[in-house]
Amino acid sequence: MAYTTIDDPSAYFQTLLYTGNDSARSLTNTGNSDLQPDWIWTTSRSNAYNNGMFDSSRGANKELTSNTTNAEATLTTGVSAFNSDGFSFSGAAYNTDSYTFVGWQWKANGGNRTTFTESGDNPGGGRQVNTTAGFGIYDYTGTGGAGTIAHGLGATPKWVLIKDRGNAEHWIVATTQIDGSRDGIYLETTGAKFDLSSSNELIFDSTNITLSDDWVDTNGDARNYIMYAFTPIQGYSKFGSYTGNGNVDGTFVHTGFSPAWVIVKRTDSGNNWHMHDNKRVPHNSNNKTLYANLTNTEGTEDFDMLSNGFKLRESGGGYNASGGTYIYMAFAESPLVTSKGVPTTAR
């Protein structure tokens, strides 16, 4: 069997750098493949700014912010279109004149949703799924009762993000990658992980995502939600955990590919969500981080992206405290070995 089914990860994930100009404009991606984004995460590198999230299921100009609990806002000058190889702005939001920005983009199903109808306690809504990339976007209306959503990924999700669109509630990151059990973490805070128990249940299997009874963060009756779900694809994406060693010659994390984007969060103690990519710093040390839970400009944290994973070059608590536990989500620039057995060149 081939090592990977995705020889060119840029067909499913890309990072785009741009400088704002306050005006309506269209931006074109620069990867090997054209990418029509379905989920865009964008923020400023140079100035304090929200982390804006836009997706093609909710539609143009519908903003959520990962660093706040704010309800969805409809912007007049935000992301106005998801194009065949990029995206457009209608004005200054996330396009402020002279500010430098980054836009991370994932492909689902081109905005084409398959709808599902509420049945008993099972929510109704819509999903767009890309089984090749292991990614799905789901919009649904909560029922207040334990119900299921068929995710269509063909394998059990490892990361699930959920946000109430109409109310100021937490961003829930649910994962089994910390210790094998189901855990939750809030995306907009520095907080440590918490167990997902009977009062805030989220269960994943190869077919369904099961929501708890009337947990307002995920399934309040008649509330509208957005959910993003990921399952790993060898050579393209990897989600896992590691233990820090407290040394600048830090822990190495094997992913099986050269990373294009990595997010890291300490789980046994409070710390920020750190994000690195291969475009803002295309060499090692990849020392510019942005923060999912903050409006801060780029910080400086040493971090190496290698042909087969990443290596921590910091001894601090954000990445590599001795004995600290961390989770990560990583997407590829290129697989370690292509489907034809061609190896990736090391950095």
In Å, what is the CA distance from 338 to each residue of 49, 208, 232, 256, 279?
A: 38, 31, 17, 11, 22
Task: Tell me which of 150-154, 200-204, 284-288 is least confident.
Answer: 200-204
Task: Tell me which of 49-58, 60-69, 280-289 is least confident.
Answer: 280-289
- Residue 115, exposed/middle/buried by CB under 10 A (0-12, 13-18, 19+)? exposed
At 197, the pLDDT band (50, 70, 90 cuts) reads confident
Averaged pLDDT of the chain: 95
Q: Round the CA-based radius of gyration of the chain to a whole number and report it.
A: 19
pLDDT tens, 95-119? 999 999 999 999 999 999 999 999 9
* SS3 label, residue 200: helix
At 170, the pLDDT band (50, 70, 90 cuts) reads very high
- Within its chain, how far is the Cα of 111 from the centroid? 17
CB-CB contact of 6 with 237 (8 Å) = no
Predicted pLDDT of residue 339 = 85
Residue 150 has pLDDT above 70, yes or no: yes
HSE of 215 in the Cβ direction (CA atoms, 13 Å)? 21
Task: Tell me which of 40-54, 181-195, 331-345 is least confident.
Answer: 331-345
Predicted pLDDT of residue 199 = 67
Residue 345 has pLDDT above 70, yes or no: no
**Residues comprising the chain, all counted:** 347
Residue 183 has pLDDT above 60, yes or no: yes
- Beginning with the edge strand found earlier in the chain, give each strand of the sheet holding 79-83 in spatial order: 25-28, 86-89, 79-83
pLDDT tens, 312-328? 999 999 999 999 999 99
Give the integer Cα–Cα distance in Å for 306 and 308: 5
pLDDT tens, 201-248? 899 999 999 998 878 999 999 999 999 999 999 999 999 999 999 999
Which residues share a beta bridge with 163? 171, 226
pLDDT above 70 as % of the chain: 98
Residue 334 has pLDDT above 70, yes or no: yes
Q: Rounded to the nearest 5 degrees, what angle is found at the Cα of 248, between the Cα atoms of 242 and 254?
A: 35
Q: Looking at residues 177-192, what average pLDDT do you find? A: 95
Task: Tell me which of 168-172, 200-204, 288-292 is least confident.
Answer: 200-204
- Beginning with the edge strand found earlier in the chain, give each strand of the sheet holding 257-266 in spatial order: 237-243, 325-335, 257-266, 273-277, 288-291, 299-300
Name every residue whose Cβ is closer than 8 Å to that of residue 342 and which is 6 or more positions away in sequence: none
CB atoms near residue 194 (< 10 Å) = 12
Predicted pLDDT of residue 212 = 85
DSSP-derived secondary structure letter, 142: -
Predicted pLDDT of residue 347 = 58
Residue 81 structure tokens: 């279109």
Q: Looking at residues 173-180, what average pLDDT do you find? A: 94
pLDDT tens, 15-31? 999 999 999 999 999 99
Give the integer Cα–Cα distance in Å for 165 and 89: 22
Predicted pLDDT of residue 1 = 55
Give the integer Cα–Cα distance in Å for 290 and 49: 11
At 40, the pLDDT band (50, 70, 90 cuts) reads very high
Residue 191 has pLDDT above 90, yes or no: yes
DSSP-derived secondary structure letter, 342: P
CB-CB contact of 100 with 19 (8 Å) = yes
Give the integer Cα–Cα distance in Å for 16 and 342: 27
Q: Looking at residues 44-56, what average pLDDT do you find? A: 98
Residue 340 has pLDDT above 90, yes or no: no
